[in-house]
Structure 1
Amino acid sequence: MNNKKINRIRRITKFRKNLQKFKITRLSIHRTSRHIYAQIISINNKILVTASTLELKIRKKLKYTGNIEAAILIGNKIASRSIKKGILNISFDRSGFKYHGRIKALAEAARNTGLKF
């Protein structure tokens, strides 16, 4: 593996080990060049809510699924779905990605919709 990927994996494991101590649900993000995925994961690693640009309803609304517009839409969807399930307080797990661009747009959209980080 290259250094960039190794450093990202190191950041992921460091954050998630720390998160296990506090026992809080997390909003985990993964991004690729074409899509963005969001999951709310419970303390015991069970997926409670998901949203991604692979969903047909979301894909039909967007011309391109790998941009900030798509990230904002996914942030709104994941927040509204989690609020319906009664999940309001979460920790934001950016999966080692830098907090800018699509990751930042998704987080801000989720906060504006009602999630508390």
Structure 2
Amino acid sequence: MAKTNPKVTARKKRVQRIRVKIFGTTERPRMSVYRSNKHIYVQIIDDMQHKTLVAMSTEDKNFDCTELNGKCEQAKRIGLLIAEKAKIAGIEKVVFDRGGYIYHGRVKALSEGAREGGLQF
């Protein structure tokens, strides 16, 4: 049996606990966040139809981070861009799923950027 990093297994347990309580519907889809060491990813998911409606990350081709200093500023810009894409798709209200991460730093910056962009959660 392979050894697993205890931080990774603890986060997976937190994600499972959160997913029991948080569920995205067609009227109010789930905004899911994944954070790696270098990048941040966000998806707006309709759990009823099992489809990703909108997605954005710092690895996208149309995301330019040359003038941004630091990962928190990049996360905030991603929040603004996901809000723009969501408005185009007709989404105004979402349920925020922090993905088992602490609501601090890049996750908080992303959510604040999405709120500034016009998403409600």
Q: Give TM-score, length-normalised by structure 1.
A: 0.88
Structure 1 unaligned regions, length at least 5 = none
Task: Tell me the equivalent position of 1:55.
Answer: 60
Structure 2 unaligned regions, length at least 5 = none
Task: Tell me the equivalent position of 1:6.
Answer: 9
Distance 2:69 2:100 in 1: 21
Give the count of matched residue pairs. Answer: 115
Structure in which a larger fraction of residues adopt helix:
1
Alpha-carbon RMSD across the aligned residues, in angstroms, is: 1.9
Greater radius of gyration (CA): 2
Distance 1:5 1:66 in 2: 24
Distance 1:90 1:100 in 2: 19
Question: Retained in 2: the 8 A contact 1:26–1:90?
Answer: yes
Give the one of 84, 95, 101 matched to 2:99: 95
Spell out structure 1 runs of 4+ moving beyond 3 A. Answer: 63-66
- Percent identity reads 39
State the 1:69 CA deviation.
1.1
Distance 2:70 2:11 in 1: 20
> 1:75-94 residue pairs with structure 2 within 5 A?
75-94=79-98
Letter in 2 for 1:16: R
